Amino acid sequence: MLRLRRDETSAFIEVWDNKPATPAMPEQSLDQEHGRGLFLVASPSRRWHYYHPQIGGKVVWCELPIHISSLEDTRKYALCSNGEFVVPFHPVKPLHFMDDPALLRRVQEGLQRLGDDSEGGDTMR
């Protein structure tokens, strides 16, 4: 499960998984194939941490700085190299999220059932 939100200076990303284990950042090396996720989260972040929600598992979150100071700056991100807009700029209304542990549990159970039905593929656990 993923949740995104922002204020004037930061973007916040929260990712939930069903594993209660404390996140750990192993030492990084060029030939390493696993264990880079938390490193990729922590590197550009102002700060990051985790917590254990009531439904179980854990949520890892991070705060990323936003360096957009005006409406004109935001339009630069939608420009092609030829000066045309990729997509028209429209202000976006803020999203309001509601935590619903019962819904998250039903989604998790449904995904686990899908994983149980797979034939020889990876299961979602």
Secondary structure in 3-state letters for the chain = CEEEEECCCEEEEEEEECCCCCCCCCCCCCCCCCCCHHHHHHCCCCEEEEECCCCCCEEEEEEEECCCCCHHHHHHCCECCCCCECCCCCCCCCCCCCCCHHHHHHHHHHHHHHHHHCCCCCCCC
pTM of the model: 0.51
> What does the pLDDT look like over 81-110, one tens digit per residue?
555 444 444 556 676 777 888 888 888 888
- Checking if the pLDDT of 80 tops 60, the result is no
Tell me, yes or no, whether 91 lies in a domain.
yes
- Checking if the pLDDT of 58 tops 90, the result is yes
Q: Which domain holds residue 92?
A: 2-117
Tell me, yes or no, whether 77 lies in a domain.
yes
Tell me, yes or no, whether 123 lies in a domain.
no
Tell me, yes or no, whether 76 lies in a domain.
yes
Total of domains in the chain: 1
Tell me, yes or no, whether 85 lies in a domain.
yes
Q: What is the model's pLDDT at position 125?
A: 39
Tell me, yes or no, whether 6 lies in a domain.
yes
**93 or 61, greater pLDDT:** 61
Tell me, yes or no, whether 124 lies in a domain.
no
